[in-house]
Chains A and B, each alone.
Chain A
């Protein structure tokens, strides 16, 4: 079955360390996205990529970095510059813009202490 795989499900890090969240899709979708979700809030866009080797900042890109070297993969690095990194991170993909729905992975819950 096609889908999006995020790993790991839970991640714990010490403050000051960079951490990379994995996102892989086998839906053959061109577009991929990273969202952050905090308790009681909607999703906020961190980065998105429309095609390989290209990506754009979302609303809260500061302290995060991404790469898109392969169509299937869109890893997110949470750097030590991110002031409040503890959150639930969701990766998504879509076949295109406009009316194309996003398909989501199961998320990674990151806790930084």
Chain B
């Protein structure tokens, strides 16, 4: 079974609109972390935001925020006031288990295109 599901293979959004990228996850662990990364066409992976399973507040980093709904096992990325430079692939990833776990489980990604 997929542990990280990103249901939107591609999205077109008008510049300056807000964007929500979906991510649902599956884990039986109580302790886990969720990450979002951006991959522009140049190929590098850029870390955007992190949410721990015990964090009470939704994470925010500038124009990025994470809509964390633990009971629904969803961790959607919200980008406010989208810009042309936001066009990229976006990946959701999860790290399960205890503090000794180094491995990330990745979703298949969502391709976001911002229209001028």
Residues of chain A at the chain B interface (Cβ within 8 Å): 31, 33, 40-45, 48, 50, 58, 88, 90, 92, 94, 97-99, 101-107, 109
Contact = CB atoms under 8 A, between A and B. Distances in A.
B42 A106 contact: yes
Contacts of A107: 43-44
Of the four ranges (under 10, 10 to 19, 20 to 34, 35 or more), the interface on chain B belongs to 20 to 34
Given A104-B44, A106-B43, A107-B43, A41 B108 contact: yes
Interface stretch (B14-22, B45-53, B72-80): B45-53
Contacts of A106: 42-44
A45 to B, nearest CB: 6
A40 B43 contact: no
Given A98-B95, A99-B50, 19 more contacts: A41-B109, A42-B4, A42-B108, A44-B106, A45-B103, A45-B104, A48-B102, A48-B103, A88-B43, A92-B45, A97-B99, A99-B52, A99-B95, A102-B35, A104-B44, A105-B44, A106-B44, A107-B44, A109-B43
